[in-house]
């Protein structure tokens, strides 16, 4: 999957106003995910995504804040803050981003990703 296709899929499925809103949702979701999962796993997921998209995971995966334990509510609060969206919009957008990421990676790393997350976030990845 190419970068423009990934962004277009997120924009259409999440019913976002424009490419900028889709890009913001992707960045916010993947940066927050990068904080939550181990660095090696973040690198594996990033490697299977379009380069520009994978960079969002890589930039937080290498930070001291990576691997922080937080639940779905904190995850969505962070996505909401980063993307400048309501919590409901952030929830919908994050679910779509994870869905498109699963398709882009052809599911190869999604099982590992799910195993690294608590049950409530694991459910969100599956729902995506």
In this prediction, residue 68 carries a pLDDT of 73
106-111: long-range pairs with CB below 8 Å, 24+: 106/48, 108/48, 109/41, 109/44, 109/45, 109/48
pLDDT for 21-42, tens place per residue? 999 999 999 999 998 888 888 8
Domains of the chain: 3-127 (1.10.490.110)
The pTM score is 0.90
pLDDT for 34-93, tens place per residue? 988 888 888 888 998 999 999 998 887 556 665 678 889 999 999 999 999 999 999 999
Report d(CA 101, CA 122) in Å as an integer: 14
For residues 19 and 11, is the Cβ–Cβ distance under 8 A? yes
């Amino acid at each position: 999957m190419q970068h423009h296709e990934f962004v277009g899929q997120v924009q259409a499925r999440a019913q976002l106003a424009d490419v900028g809103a889709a890009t913001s949702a992707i960045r916010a979701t993947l940066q927050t995910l990068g904080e939550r999962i181990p660095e090696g796993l973040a690198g594996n997921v990033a490697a299977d995504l379009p380069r520009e998209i994978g960079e969002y995971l890589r930039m937080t995966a290498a930070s001291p804040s990576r691997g922080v334990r937080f639940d779905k509510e904190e995850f969505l609060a962070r996505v909401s803050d980063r993307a400048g969206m309501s919590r409901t919009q952030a929830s919908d957008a994050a679910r779509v981003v994870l869905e498109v990421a699963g398709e882009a990676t052809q599911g190869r790393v999604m099982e590992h990703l799910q195993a690294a997350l608590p049950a409530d976030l694991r459910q969100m990845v599956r729902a995506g």
